[in-house]
Amino acid sequence: MAVAIVTGASGLVGSEAVTFFAAQGFDVVGVDNDLRGYFFGPSGSTRWNRQRLESTIRGYRHADLDIRDEAGIARLFAEYGRDIAVLVHAAAQPSHDWAAREPLTDFSVNATGTVILLDVTRRHAPDAVFIFTSTNKVYGDTPNRLPLVERETRWEVDPSHPYAEHGIDESMSLDATLHSVFGASKVAADVMVQEYGRYFGMKTGVFRGGCLTGPAHSGAELHGFLAYLVACGIRGTEYTVFGYRAKQVRDNIHSWDLIQAFWRFFQAPRAGEVYNVGGGRFANCSVREAIALVERLTGKPMRWKYDSTNRVGDHIWWISDVRKLMAHYPGWTITRSLEATVAEMLEAQRERVR
């Protein structure tokens, strides 16, 4: 039986991958020690999602392992060996702000943990497909140097710019930019995943996500913009917007659509390839527009305040150009609109607070 190993299995992307690959007939092993609870406190913990997976996914095995534990990871991989067909690496320290508090922890999780997984895969399952969940933060604050125009509810790139129609593509430079500590650790991991594909010939793929979201997201103030906003809307908690007059723009992709991209890559991997992946021009919003959408769907006003200090390295405008991914994998497309995704997230939050 083919085995799928998923790191960060109790998180948003990981749990979607566990559910999907199990449905395709894989034996799924999830690796997650709930470091998110350490990063963000009880509200950020994914323990509830682990329990959900263990109770609903037949044959699912959970390994309470830290990806920095090389010996433990090696034992797990040695157990399955060449039966491992795919590794979906979704474990990470995901916050700009938290990374600055503990840079060594951030780098050890994001960079060292990734290299450990790569090398253990190379030794024990060299034919496995290695799928890495990277981030658009590898581009640092370079997007902020685009010619931006302020509109009533959002920032937009100047209509004459090449990125205006489809968003930002993979040609944007990673150099000479302020990445944030988090962005820098993800750059290190991103480049090493590419290198293991190009140098060692492994079937590695890098997916640089915009805002990844969905009903299984344990959003916290320091990470998970849309999920945390939705949670605040349901619970009546005050939401704080940081900088850019609340007009900063993000594209948002439902975790289901992201996993469909992973699945197509698994079926026809391109070693060391890099893809920008997000909601693109199909599903994006500013913070102001997201607040208005939540208010409309809940039927009640949100409590929010504005802090004029933006987060270091934060993007003013990000929309992913997904044409390269669509060209390489013509069967893939974005299926979930922003409104449908938010409505699904609202319902999930209502269930959790009951």
State the pLDDT at residue 260: 98
Q: What is the mean pLDDT of residues 104-126?
A: 98
Q: Are the beta carbons of 83 and 3 closer than 8 angstroms?
A: yes
Instruction: Give first-to-last CA distance, the chain, whole Å.
Output: 39
Q: Structure pTM?
A: 0.96
Q: Please tell me the distance from the alpha carbon of residue 186 to that of residue 114, in angstroms, as a whole number.
A: 9
- Domain positions in the chain are 3-353
State the pLDDT at residue 311: 85
Residues in the chain: 354
CA dihedral 330, 254, 256, 297 (to 10 degrees): -120
Strand order from edge to edge, sheet including 273-277: 61-63, 27-31, 3-7, 84-89, 129-135, 203-209, 273-277
- In tens, the pLDDT along 229-282 reads 998 998 899 999 999 999 999 999 999 999 999 999 999 999 999 999 999 999
Q: Please tell me the distance from the alpha carbon of residue 53 to that of residue 59, in angstroms, as a whole number.
A: 10
Q: Please tell me the distance from the alpha carbon of residue 278 to that of residue 87, in angstroms, as a whole number.
A: 21
CATH superfamily of 3-353: NAD(P)-binding Rossmann-like Domain (3.40.50.720)
Residue 117 scores a pLDDT above 90: yes
State the pLDDT at residue 289: 97
Torsions phi, psi for 6 (to 5 deg): -125, 120
Q: Please tell me the distance from the alpha carbon of residue 63 to that of residue 66, in angstroms, as a whole number.
A: 9
- In tens, the pLDDT along 123-169 reads 999 999 999 999 999 999 999 999 999 999 999 999 999 999 999 99
